[in-house]
Amino acid sequence: MARLTAEDLIKLKEKVKNENALSKDGYTVKITVHLGTCGIAAGGDVVYEALKEEIEESKRDDIKVVISGCAGMCSSEPNVTIGRIGEDAVIYRDLDAEKMRKIFQGHVLGGEILNDYAMARIKEPV
């Protein structure tokens, strides 16, 4: 990594934004696992492990997983946000490993939102 100038900063911003738009780099799904201390304490790390296993088993290489800080509503954690290309993203609440696996099969692979576990939709593609 080189030292940045102010111009580099803007270029880098555009580049990252571009790459983050799904479809670039061939990704069609972005999954955000909200892992602050609160999320981890609620079992977020276990959910994260289950998710990684599911992805591995699915042999899909177009699924991008990112971690982030607390989504805000600690009492609804663990939270995971699923965004499929061209669709509203959905943030799920009160997850455990089993629910995560169901959501992976149902929503990520099958395209069906699991209403029972969903908390909200997010308009802009995350």
Partner 1 sequence: MSENNSKAEEKTEEIAEEKVEEKEQEKQKEEKVIPYLEDVPFFGFQKLIVLKNKGIDPELIDEYIAQDGYQAAAKALLEMTQEEIIAEMKTSGLRGRGGAGFPTGLKWEFANKSEGDIKYVLCNADEGDPGAFMDRSVLEADPHAILEGMIIAAKAVGAHQGYIYCRAEYPLAIKRLNIAISQATEYGLLGNDIFGSGFDFHLEIYQGAGAFVCGEETALMHSIEGKRGMPRPRPPFPAHQGLWKKPTVLNNVETYANVPQIILNGGKWYAGIGTETSKGTKVFALTGTVKNIGLVEVPMGTTLRTIIFDIGGGVPKKKKFKAVQLGGPSGGCISEAFIDTPVDYESIAKVGAIMGSGGMIVMDNQTCMVDMARFFMDFVQDESCGKCTPCREGTRRMLQILEKITRGEGESGDIETLEELSEVIKDAALCGLGQTGPNPVLSTLQYFRDEYEAHIFEKRCPAKRCPALLEFEVDEEKCIKCGICFKQCPTEAITWEKKQPAHIDKEKCIKCMTCITNCPSDAIF
Structure tokens at 10: 């803007």
Dihedral of the alpha carbons of 111, 32, 119, 57, in degrees to the nearest 10: 40
Alpha-carbon distance of 78 to 26, in angstroms, equals: 28
Alpha-carbon distance of 38 to 36, in angstroms, equals: 5
To the nearest whole angstrom, how small is the minimum distance from the Cβ of residue 101 to partner 1? 20
Selection from 33, 59, 32, 60 nearest residue 45 by Cα: 33
The amino acid occupying position 41 is A
To the nearest whole angstrom, how small is the minimum distance from the Cβ of residue 105 to partner 1? 19
To the nearest whole angstrom, how small is the minimum distance from the Cβ of residue 55 to partner 1? 17
User: With respect to partner 1, which residue has the nearer C-beta, 86 or 115?
Assistant: 115
User: With respect to partner 1, which residue has the nearer C-beta, 13 or 60?
Assistant: 13
To the nearest whole angstrom, how small is the minimum distance from the Cβ of residue 63 to partner 1? 15
User: Residues in the site for partner 1, rule: CB under 8 A?
Assistant: 1-6, 9-10, 12-13, 16-17, 20, 32, 34, 36-38, 40, 66-76, 81, 88, 90-91, 113, 115, 118-123, 126
